[in-house]
Amino acid sequence: MIRRKHQVALALTAVLAAAAACQNQERGAPAAGQQAPSAGKGFTLVASGTVVPHATVADRAGFEASGNNNGNGDSSNGGYDFGPMLAAVEPAVSDADLALCGLDPVPGDDTDPAAASLPQLARALAATGYDSCATAAADALVDPSGVPRTLNALDAAGLRHAGTARTQAEAGQTPLLQAGPAKVAHLSYAYDPGQRTGDSPAWTVAALNEQRVIAGARAARKAGADVVVLSLDWGDGWQDAPNDAVTALAKRLTASRTGTRPDVDLILGADGHLPQAYGKVNGTWVVYGTGDQIGPGTTGAQGVRDWRGGESTTARFTFVPPAKKGGRWEVSRAEFLPQFYDQDSGRLLEVNSAIAQGADLAGVRDRIKDAALGGGGAKAGLTMAP
């Protein structure tokens, strides 16, 4: 795997009204084909689909660690090696100034491979170049028992997280991340299906509520955020287009303003399992669904095999600073990278790369492209990355 190059990046955490500096990291140069912002003036952000920890995914990582796949396994990595799964996306992720992922909290105990392999998965995500993971998910609202285990694993790997909490104080924090010269708030919320189990406090998982989201975005601004990014777990599963409730909520959230400045600068949607449209709503980019980056991906809405579940996109946005003080950071370039997680090989593939060209993947690429461009994104400048 190409190793991550580093330049200075600072991770901050704010408790609603104030941000505190936490640590420095380094990031590398822009990926090939990606427009580099002016030095010290802008930044690039990438955001990938959800990693759905599942026993089949963990089993594949165990297979890689054992060396059964190519004779070069890493059995010293606690018996699980997720690196090969993520290798294809590492250049794009590690070259960004800020990289966001999604990770469903994992319930269970060490007898479940998905739970047992969480430390290794978190380390692989960090090694790939991700900085923060959205962890609010509808499944976690139903069963939040996996929240502490998942957040402990992310903390140990040095990954930030948003959307779930182990304590009420932690739930009240606003995650702020440094991206080039900008402070970025990463907020995560999930649609509540109203089927909670157990007696976990309501603050354990951030439920998606319009007023709560707007309040969180405004608090992030007060804490010093230049850019507010929402990761929203919403919508219907196994649909390649957002439903009316999702599009209506996107309009309301992007219309919310404090003075002349929008409260939200980017929305990243998930939970549909399939890639969905990118579009500009009230001048704000909305990714209605990234799809699942890695997951079991074989059981669709009717309980039958649906290989579209391996399809996803990684979004890449280039932000430039406002022309005048107090203005908005604008997106100067919007791109998506079409990807496919191949269940047979246990590899995430960049389907638009020279290596991945072929008749089979051409159909996958075209299906993802049609979905991503289906929301008017092309007219707003969205392109498919080479």
- Would the pLDDT of 300 be above 80? no
> Is 130:101 a contact under the CB 8 Å cutoff?
yes
List of residues 6+ apart from 225 with CB closer than 8 A = 174, 176, 183, 184, 185
Q: Is residue 44, in this structure, part of any structural domain at all? A: yes
For residue range 133-178, what is the model confidence (pLDDT) as tens digits?
999 999 899 899 999 999 999 999 999 999 999 999 999 999 899 9
CATH of the domain at 307: 3.60.21.10
Q: Is residue 2, in this structure, part of any structural domain at all? A: no
13 forms bridges with which residues in the sheet? 20, 175
Torsion sign over Cα 332, 334, 335, 341 = positive
Q: How far apart are CA 93 and CA 81, in angstroms?
A: 19
pLDDT at 305: 64
Write the burial class of residue 88 (CB in 10 Å: 0-12 exposed, 13-18 middle, 19+ buried): buried
For residue range 351-365, what is the model confidence (pLDDT) as tens digits?
987 565 565 788 899
Q: What domain count does the chain have?
A: 1
pLDDT band at 9, cuts 50/70/90?
Answer: very low
Q: How far apart are CA 291 and CA 314, in angstroms?
A: 9
Angle, CA of 364, 368 and 373, to the nearest 5° = 150
Q: Measuring CA to CA, which residue among 292, 309, 24 is closest to residue 178?
A: 24
In terms of average pLDDT, the best of 19-33, 135-149, 191-205 is 135-149
- Strands 292-294 and 43-51, by their bridges, are parallel
Q: How far apart are CA 247 and CA 177, in angstroms?
A: 28
Domain assignment of residue 259, given as a range:
9-384
pLDDT band at 196, cuts 50/70/90?
Answer: confident
Q: Is residue 1, in this structure, part of any structural domain at all? A: no
pLDDT band at 326, cuts 50/70/90?
Answer: confident
Q: Is residue 124, in this structure, part of any structural domain at all? A: yes
Mean per-residue pLDDT of the chain: 85
Residue 106 DSSP label: -
Torsion sign over Cα 35, 182, 39, 22 = negative
Residue 30 DSSP label: P
Greater pLDDT, 108 or 381: 381
Cα distances from 14 to residues 21, 176, 228, 287, in angstroms, run 9, 7, 13, 26
Instruction: Write the Ramachandran bin of 303: left for phi over 0, alpha for psi from -120 to 50, otherwise beta.
Output: left
Residue 85 has φ and ψ, to the nearest 5°, of: -60, -35
Distance of CA 133 to the CA centre of its chain: 6
Predicted model pTM: 0.87
Q: Is residue 4, in this structure, part of any structural domain at all? A: no
For residue range 232-266, what is the model confidence (pLDDT) as tens digits?
999 988 888 999 999 999 999 999 999 999 999 99
Q: Is residue 219, in this structure, part of any structural domain at all? A: yes
Structure tokens at 222: 């007060």
Q: Is residue 241, in this structure, part of any structural domain at all? A: yes
Q: Residue 49: how many CA atoms within 13 Å on its side-chain side?
A: 34
Q: How far apart are CA 269 and CA 306, in angstroms?
A: 21
Greater pLDDT, 345 or 283: 283
Distance of CA 372 to the CA centre of its chain: 16
pLDDT at 60: 93
In the chain, % of residues over pLDDT 70? 82
Q: Where are the alpha helices (DSSP H) in 236-316?
A: 244-255
